């Protein structure tokens, strides 16, 4: 079922190219190509509404090195067996054959690779079958080389390489940037396979790879111990690009004798880019202590607020009254009537409403916790003790792992709340896969941690994360709320296109970064998480980005950067609504958006930036003044924008008034506009 921004799963088309010996899986937003001449390896990923170029510079295939012998790959197998089948909206391609060297010789090692194409990601189940006791020194399961424009990267290290100690190692992304061929960049290298990797052209497109829930496949399966693999991500120069290799086994000398079947699950995530400018995430929340009046709701709507959600998951006001995760109904009849009244008032004034759910927390007072708390618990460390997220003398809840019965209970609980109230959808906090060592969640594993440790992570083949289950929850949720429902996810420092593809809005940047206190970074230096791959509306948490005592000008500078890059502060303060007022009333889904990095708007002078919402019938130009004084700025448009609308002259409207401007003047001489300090002027341009 088609949706405006591609948030609802659709079926895929399969296109066969006999001449090129290729199979292409295509939907309205992107295409993934497999080469039959290279063992079914993925050789093309193209986002139609991004750059519309192949993001890959070569095949994504593996390679295996026999100790003292040659290197073999499915990429050299030109005649794999192929099976195609469908399961619902999923399209499944299966390739089987023998690993071969560049001359086509095999060594008796076979492969069976299953690619399950789902909405916004491909699940890749790879199996290698060994007979004859080969001694293997290197097994590479995934490698790619991507376009040099995908300069920014994020990596969630493998559990045994994780450095974070926050909440028993939350597992956040480590960020970086390469400049292929023009800088002394050092590659990112580790002996442990990471859980997640992305490469992106910020705000435009990208590609990601991550492992399935069974982490032991990648760290223990081949050797029985951690630290014998390798991972490398870095720039390359021939041709220019960013290359990656993922090896669960990579030893410089010697090797391991392998016999039988070895299975590895991973994913490739592709951002679903609709080609439409994202609607601005102008959002506020409410709670039971201060139920908003209809007048307050009306005022929010008139000022541009488009969504709200109920958020009272902790004892914020120290009165014992809050929505304990997993409980229903959370309050008495009077408060529940107010809850429904607020939802109705929001709808009356055009505001969509969600309510808060934590994907990782269950309050100990809930019967389900009393019955299953130990069974479902997330137990990541060597103490074997469950983690409780404390708050004001009580707690938010105990941490749960979706790779347990918690997933099904959680879905039933969400469905119960949605079924009893006229909500538009859900707000998911803790929308992230996390490491867990609860051996109850892994079949066939005995308890490894026999004695309490000192509070570090517990490591063994039983270690896992709930990645498969999180993806399933995203798919289930979108189907539950429908194509026009509301789905908000909060995933600070762990953005992921594969999960965000199902959401309408993403909340990001609550913690993990230095806060702004005296100024703001250049737009080109904003973190990748800020706008990520440009595929979904994002909110950057103002209270996480700003010091409490930061002067108003720093707040304005942050909000101005949000405005110019197509994101929004979250939740919106009065100042934010004031600065975004020039876009109020416009249906931004009618436009495409280009941020300052795209260069479609040139603004003269220093401390300036230009962005544009553009379509064939109209454009909204944002002329940004990043200086502390009001100025008259001159801007020019890229000629292609005028060619798109094919007009000789244009009506240009701003706060300064309206004027008719020749197309040649608009692109050559430019237009002057007055812009307040630390602000952006919105200039409307239509063919005259």
Would you state the CATH architecture of domain 13-269? Answer: Distorted Sandwich (2.70)
User: Is the predicted pLDDT of residue 156 greater than 80, yes or no?
Assistant: yes
Residues 179 and 208: their CA atoms lie apart, in Å, by 19
Question: Pick from 180, 189, 193, 186: which is nearest to 221 by CA?
Answer: 193
206 contacts: CB under 8 Å, gap ≥ 6: 55, 150, 198, 199, 200, 271, 497, 532, 533
CB 199 within 8 A of CB 147: no
Question: Which of 269, 330, 354, 336 has the alpha carbon at shortest distance from 535?
Answer: 269
In percent, the amount of the chain with pLDDT more than 90 equals: 90
Inter-residue contact 536 to 5 (CB < 8 Å): yes
Pick from 8, 242, 120: nearest CA to 496: 120
The two tokens of residue 160 are: 């045994």
pLDDT digits (tens, 9 = 90+) for 350-384: 999 999 999 999 999 999 999 999 999 999 988 88
Mean pLDDT of all residues in the chain? 95
Nearest alpha-carbon partner for 288 in 346, 350, 337, 360? 337
Q: Which residues, listed in sequence order, are joined to residue 70 by a DSSP beta bridge?
A: none
Q: Taking the CB of residue 611, how many other CB atoms lie within 10 A of it?
A: 25
CB atoms within 10 A of CB 390: 11
Q: What is the mean predicted confidence (pLDDT) over 651-657?
A: 89
Which residue, chain included where needed, has tokens 């230095």? 514
Q: What is the CATH number of domain 592-687?
A: 2.60.40.1180
Kindly state the helix (H) or strand (E) to which residue 561 belongs, with its residue range. Answer: helix 552-565
Residue 456: is its pLDDT beyond 90? no
Q: List, for residues 203-240, the tens digit of each pLDDT value.
A: 999 999 999 999 999 999 999 999 999 999 999 999 99
DSSP state of 446: P
Radius of gyration of the chain measured on its C-alpha atoms = 26
From 103-112, 162-171, 472-481, 622-631, the region with the lowest mean pLDDT: 162-171
pLDDT band at residue 457 using 50, 70 and 90 as cut-offs: confident
Cα–Cα distance, 651 to 3 (Å, whole number): 33
Q: Which pLDDT does position 171 carry in this prediction?
A: 84
User: HSE of 166 in the Cβ direction (CA atoms, 13 Å)?
Assistant: 9
Distance between CA atoms of 583 and 680, rounded to whole angstroms?
11
Helical axes 367-376 vs 406-420, angle rounded to 10°: 150
Domain layout of the chain by residue ranges: 13-269, 283-508, 592-687
pLDDT at 599 > cutoff 60: yes
**What are the backbone dihedrals phi and psi of residue 507, each rounded to the nearest 5 degrees, phi first?**
-100, 130
Whether residue 22 is predicted with pLDDT greater than 70 in this model: the reply is yes
Q: How many CB atoms lie within 10 A of CB 360?
A: 26
pLDDT of residue 165: 63
The first and second tokens of residue 686, run together, are: 């239509």
Average of per-residue pLDDT across 142-166: 91
Query: For residue 437, what are its two tokens?
Result: 């060592």
Distance CA(625)–CA(622), nearest Å, equals 10
Are 604 and 668 in contact by the 8 Å Cβ rule? The answer is no
The DSSP line for 63-117 is EEEETTS-EEBGGG-SS-EEEEEEETTEEEEEEEEEEE-TTS-EEEEEEEEEEEE
* C-alpha distances in Å from residue 289, one per residue of 116, 310, 311, 314, 323: 47, 11, 11, 12, 11
Predicted local distance difference test score (pLDDT) of residue 450: 59
Cis peptide before 448 (omega within 30 of 0): no
Residues written for the chain: 688
The span from the CA of 282 to the CA of 577, in Å, is 8
Q: Distance between alpha carbon 432 and the CA centroid of its chain, in Å?
A: 10
CB 195 within 8 A of CB 156: yes
Cα separation, 351 vs 395, in Å, equals 31
Question: What is the rounded distance in angstroms from the CA atom of residue 127 to the CA atom of residue 39?
Answer: 13
- Does residue 427 register a pLDDT over 70? yes
Mean pLDDT, residues 89-111: 96
> pLDDT category, 449, cuts 50, 70, 90?
low
Instruction: Average the pLDDT over 107-134 and give the result.
Output: 95
* Average of per-residue pLDDT across 450-475: 90
Q: What mean pLDDT do residues 282-296 have? A: 97
Other CB atoms within 10 Å distance of the CB of residue 212: 22
Going by C-alpha positions, the residue among 556, 612, 562 that lies closest to residue 588 is: 612
pLDDT of residue 7: 98
73 near 107, Cβ under 8 Å? no
Coil, strand or helix at 363? coil
Q: 274 is written with which tokens?
A: 């609709």
Residue scoring higher pLDDT (682 or 391): 682
Give the span between the Cα atoms of 81 and 200, in whole angstroms. Answer: 34
Q: What are phi and psi of 77, to 5 degrees?
A: -95, 110
- Beta-carbon count within 10 A of 450 CB: 7
Alpha-carbon span 298 to 577, nearest angstrom: 14
Q: Which of 11-25, 149-163, 178-192, 434-448 has the lowest mean pLDDT?
A: 434-448
- 223 and 256 in contact (C-beta within 8 Å)? yes
Q: What pLDDT, on a 0 to 100 scale, did the predictor assign at position 503? A: 98
> Which residue did the predictor score with more confidence, 383 or 180?
180
Model confidence at 1, pLDDT cuts 50, 70, 90, reads confident
Distance of CA 15 to the CA centre of its chain: 28
Out of 3.40.1360.10, 3.20.20.70, 3.40.640.10, 3.40.50.1820, the CATH code matching 283-508 is 3.20.20.70
462/448 Cα distance (integer angstroms): 8
Q: How far is CA 493 from the centre of its chain?
A: 10
Phi, psi torsion values for 474, nearest 5 degrees: -60, -45
* Residue whose C-alpha is closest to residue 499's, from 567, 435, 434, 431: 431
pLDDT per residue as tens digits for the range 186-208: 999 999 999 999 999 999 999 99
pLDDT tens sequence across 67-81: 988 999 999 999 999
Decide if pLDDT at 608 tops 80.
yes
pLDDT of residue 169 exceeding 90, the answer is no
Half-sphere exposure of 482 (CA within 13 A, CB side): 5
Q: What CA–CA distance (Å, rounded) separates 489 from 427?
A: 6
Tokens for 116, please give them.
């399950």
């Amino acid at each position: 079922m088609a949706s405006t921004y591609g948030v609802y799963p659709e079926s895929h088309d399969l296109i066969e190219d006999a001449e090129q010996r290729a199979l292409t899986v295509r939907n309205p937003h992107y295409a993934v190509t497999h080469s039959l001449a290279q063992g079914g390896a993925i050789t093309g990923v193209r986002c139609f509404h991004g750059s519309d170029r192949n993001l890959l510079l070569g095949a994504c295939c593996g390679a295996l090195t026999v100790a003292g012998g040659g290197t073999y790959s499915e990429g050299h197998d030109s005649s794999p067996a192929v099976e195609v089948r469908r399961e619902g909206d999923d399209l499944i391609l299966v390739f089987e054959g023998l690993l071969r060297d560049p001359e086509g010789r095999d060594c008796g090692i076979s492969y069976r690779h299953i690619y399950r194409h789902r909405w916004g990601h491909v699940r890749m189940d790879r199996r290698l079958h060994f007979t004859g006791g080969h001694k293997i020194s290197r097994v590479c399961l995934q490698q790619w080389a991507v376009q040099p424009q995908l300069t920014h990267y994020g990596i969630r290290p493998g559990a045994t390489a994780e450095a974070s100690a926050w909440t028993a190692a939350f597992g956040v992304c480590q960020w970086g940037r390469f400049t292929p061929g023009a800088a002394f960049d050092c590659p990112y290298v580790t002996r442990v396979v990471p859980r997640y990797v992305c490469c992106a052209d910020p705000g435009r497109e990208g590609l990601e790879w991550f492992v399935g829930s069974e982490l032991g496949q990648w760290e223990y399966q081949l050797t029985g111990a951690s630290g014998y693999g390798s991972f490398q991500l870095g720039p390359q120069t021939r041709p220019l690009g960013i290359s990656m290799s993922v090896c669960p086994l990579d030893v410089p000398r010697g090797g391991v004798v392998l016999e039988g079947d070895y299975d590895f699950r991973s994913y490739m995530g592709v951002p679903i880019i609709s080609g439409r400018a994202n609607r601005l995430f102008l959002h506020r929340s409410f709670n039971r202590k201060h139920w908003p009046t209809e007048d307050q709701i009306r005022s929010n709507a008139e000022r541009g607020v488009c969504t709200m959600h109920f958020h009272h998951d902790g004892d914020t006001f120290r009165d014992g009254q809050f929505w304990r995760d997993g409980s229903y109904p959370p309050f008495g009849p009077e408060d529940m009537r107010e809850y429904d009244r607020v939802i109705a008032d929001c709808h009356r004034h055009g505001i969509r409403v969600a309510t808060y759910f934590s994907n990782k927390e269950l309050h100990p007072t809930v019967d389900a916790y009393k019955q299953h708390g130990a069974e479902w618990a997330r137990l990541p460390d060597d103490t074997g003790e469950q983690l409780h997220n404390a708050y004001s003398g009580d707690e938010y809840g105990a941490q749960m792992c979706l790779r347990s019965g918690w997933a099904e209970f959680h879905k039933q609980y969400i469905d119960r709340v949605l079924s009893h109230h006229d909500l538009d959808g859900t707000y998911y906090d803790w929308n992230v896969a996390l490491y867990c060592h609860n051996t109850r969640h892994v079949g066939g594993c005995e308890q490894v941690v026999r004695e309490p440790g000192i509070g570090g992570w517990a490591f063994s083949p039983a270690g896992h994360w709930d990645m498969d289950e999180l993806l399933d929850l995203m798919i289930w949720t979108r189907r539950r709320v429908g194509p026009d429902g509301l789905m908000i996810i909060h995933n600070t420092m762990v953005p992921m296109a594969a999960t965000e593809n199902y959401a309408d809005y993403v909340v990001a940047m609550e913690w993990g970064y230095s806060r702004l206190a005296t100024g703001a970074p250049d737009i080109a230096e904003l973190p990748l998480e800020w706008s990520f791959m440009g595929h979904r509306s994002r909110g950057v948490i103002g209270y996480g980005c700003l010091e409490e005592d930061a002067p108003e000008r720093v707040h304005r500078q942050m909000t101005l950067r949000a405005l110019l890059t197509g994101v929004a502060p979250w939740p919106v303060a009065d100042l934010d609504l004031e600065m975004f007022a020039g876009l109020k009333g416009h249906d931004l889904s009618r436009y495409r958006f280009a941020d300052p990095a795209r260069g479609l708007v040139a603004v003269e002078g220093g401390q300036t930036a230009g962005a544009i919402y553009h379509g064939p019938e109209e454009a909204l130009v944002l002329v940004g003044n990043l200086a502390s004084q009001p100025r008259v700025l001159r801007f020019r448009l890229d000629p292609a924008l005028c060619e798109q609308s094919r007009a000789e002259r244009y009506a240009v409207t701003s706060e300064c008034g309206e004027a008719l401007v020749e197309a040649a003047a608009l692109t050559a001489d430019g237009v002057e506009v007055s812009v307040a300090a630390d602000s952006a002027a919105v200039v409307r341009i239509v063919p005259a």
